[in-house]
Amino acid sequence: NYNTSIHTTTGQIPFELMHGRSPILPFDQQQPLITLSQDPKHRLKLNQYLSTLTEQAKIKILEQQEKYKQRYDQHRSNPN
C-alpha cells in the first residue's frame, strides 16, 4: 500500500510522516488494544519525533534528487 510502505525517496512511511505513528492495519487489530498513557510531554515528544522524521525525509529527498540529476545528466550533452 502506498501510504504504509517505506518510500525509496524519503526512506519513511508516508502515514508515519503525517501522523507520527505506524499505521494500524486490519490484520493488526487481532492484537490487544493499545492504550495511551497520559504523558504530559506526549505532544512535545510527538512534535520532536515528527520534526526528526521530516528532516530525515528532506535529506533523503535531496540525496535522491541529486542521484536522479546525475543519472539524467549522463545522457545529455553539454549545451555549450
pTM: 0.57
| Cβ-contact 20, 46 below 8 angstroms | yes
Q: What is the pLDDT of residue 39?
A: 76
Domain range list for the chain:
2-21+40-73
Rounded-to-integer distance, Cα 2 and Cα 32, Å: 26
Helix (H) or strand (E) holding 48: helix 42-74
Residue/partner pairs of 21-26 with CB below 8 Å, 24 or more apart: none
pLDDT along the chain (80 residues), means of 10: 82 87 74 67 87 93 94 82
- Can you give the pLDDT at residue 78? 76
